[in-house]
Amino acid sequence: MEGTGVDALRVELSPAFQLIMSISLVVMMFTVALGLKLKDFMDLRKEPWAVGGGVLAQVLGLPLLTLGLIFWLQPAPSVALGMIVVASCPGGNVSNALTLFARGDTAYSVSLTSISAVSAAVVTPISILFWANQYGPTSVLVDTLDVDPSIFLVQTAGLLALPLLAGMSLAHWKPEFASVLRRMLIPVAFTMLVGLILVGAFSNRDVLFSTEHSLIPLVMTHNALAFVLGGGAGFAMQLAGAKIRALTFEVGIQNAGLGLLLLLSQFGGVGGAVAVTALWGVWHITAGFILVGLFRGYDHLKNKRSAGT
């Protein structure tokens, strides 16, 4: 895909909007942390194989799959950057809800999401820089954006770690207050997330829907392969069916809102990357509900056959 036009696009941000983005990131991570409990991490001790394998599928498997897809499709450098950022972000809480709706193992899903969220402060920025450097055109693009690796790592780690630590501390020492506060902040964080995705999509509407640079098939393919990777990893580890469903959603659902915040604040709002991430934020939830319907339809047919025999 020819990348000059796409890579040249920028989402320009006013100082006020940049401040809103930083606040949004803090609120989102703080809200996530308020829901984290020590018992969410206990599965790592009880089932290290299942949890460790699930984490590896997210942290290592998805970026590797993404890099392979990039080398195959040869997208514009900024588009490849967006794919890498999405693959490097932690899973979102949406995966827990989808797992519940699909009759998957919700406890396993929550454990993976919790580990992903806590490790994001270190893993996400390192992963973005590492995988971006593995694809030459994207590595060159990052250099032209004047992204200082050390500053990026410190700033991103700080923005993610501080609200996580604050939220987890409050949840530990004042659990009842944390529970009430979390219920209040969830709609705020959700509104901010949706707003960011809509801003990203609207700002790049010409890129999203133009014939020459249509990103919709690419994002749909990338997301579908992520779901397949999650399910395939579960089968390879011989997990129970409910856990396979959970891992399918954990790998296929990524925190696109966080990815957008990082692209807009740290990477100059480069158009192709913002467009991919915004589109992913819309599509992965749509695809997730389609999967829920397929899983529940399969259960219905299975129960019907069992009743018939």
The yes-or-no verdict on residue 253 having pLDDT over 90 is yes
Summarize the confidence of residues 40-55 as an average pLDDT. 82
H helix runs in the chain, sequence order: 4-8, 15-34, 43-46, 48-56, 62-73, 77-88, 94-101, 106-132, 136-144, 149-173, 175-203, 205-209, 216-236, 241-252, 256-266, 271-308
Identify whether 290 is part of a domain: yes
The yes-or-no verdict on residue 246 having pLDDT over 50 is yes
Using CA of residue 286, residue 287, residue 288, residue 290, what is the dihedral sign? positive
* Mean pLDDT lowest among 20-29, 164-173, 177-186, 229-238: 20-29
| Confidence band, pLDDT 50/70/90 cuts, at residue 5 | low
Report the CATH number at residue 85. Answer: 1.20.1530.20
The yes-or-no verdict on residue 172 having pLDDT over 80 is yes
Rounded mean pLDDT of the chain? 84
Identify whether 308 is part of a domain: no
Identify whether 9 is part of a domain: no
58 is in which domain, residue-wise?
36-295
pLDDT at 255: 87
Identify whether 94 is part of a domain: yes
Distance of CA 85 to the CA centre of its chain: 9
pLDDT at 11: 63
The yes-or-no verdict on residue 212 having pLDDT over 50 is no
Identify whether 28 is part of a domain: no
Residue 255 amino acid letter: N
Give the chain's largest Cα–Cα span: 67
Identify whether 286 is part of a domain: yes
The yes-or-no verdict on residue 302 having pLDDT over 80 is yes
Angle at the Cα of 85 from the Cα atoms of 279 and 287, rounded to 5 degrees: 35
| Confidence band, pLDDT 50/70/90 cuts, at residue 252 | very high
Q: How far apart are CA 238 and CA 49, in angstroms?
A: 10
Identify whether 191 is part of a domain: yes
pLDDT at 211: 44
Residue 110 amino acid letter: V
CA atoms in the 13 A half-sphere facing the CB of 191? 7
Summarize the confidence of residues 142-169 as an average pLDDT. 83
Residue 157 amino acid letter: A
Identify whether 238 is part of a domain: yes
CA atoms in the 13 A half-sphere facing the CB of 241? 6
Angle at the Cα of 206 from the Cα atoms of 205 and 208, rounded to 5 degrees: 60
pLDDT at 287: 95
Question: What pLDDT digit, counting tens, does each position of 70-120 carry?
Answer: 999 999 999 999 999 999 998 877 888 899 889 999 889 888 988 888 888
- Report residue 4 as tokens: 């000059």
DSSP string covering 36-66: --GGGGTHHHH-HHHHHHHHHIIIIIHHHHH
Q: Return the closest-CA partner of residue 191 out of 249, 272, 257.
A: 257
The yes-or-no verdict on residue 1 having pLDDT over 50 is no
Q: How far apart are CA 142 and CA 145, in angstroms?
A: 5
Q: Is 255 helix (H, G, I), strand (E, B) or coil?
A: coil
Look at the block and give the residue holding tokens 């209040």: 184
Q: What's the number of domains the chain is made of?
A: 1
The yes-or-no verdict on residue 69 having pLDDT over 90 is yes
Between 151 and 123, residue with greater pLDDT = 123
Query: Percent of the chain scored above 90 by pLDDT?
Result: 38
Question: CB-based contacts of 34: which residues, under 8 Å, 6+ apart?
Answer: 167, 170, 171, 178, 179, 181, 182, 185
The yes-or-no verdict on residue 202 having pLDDT over 80 is no
Between 53 and 149, residue with greater pLDDT = 53
- Report residue 151 as tokens: 């500053």
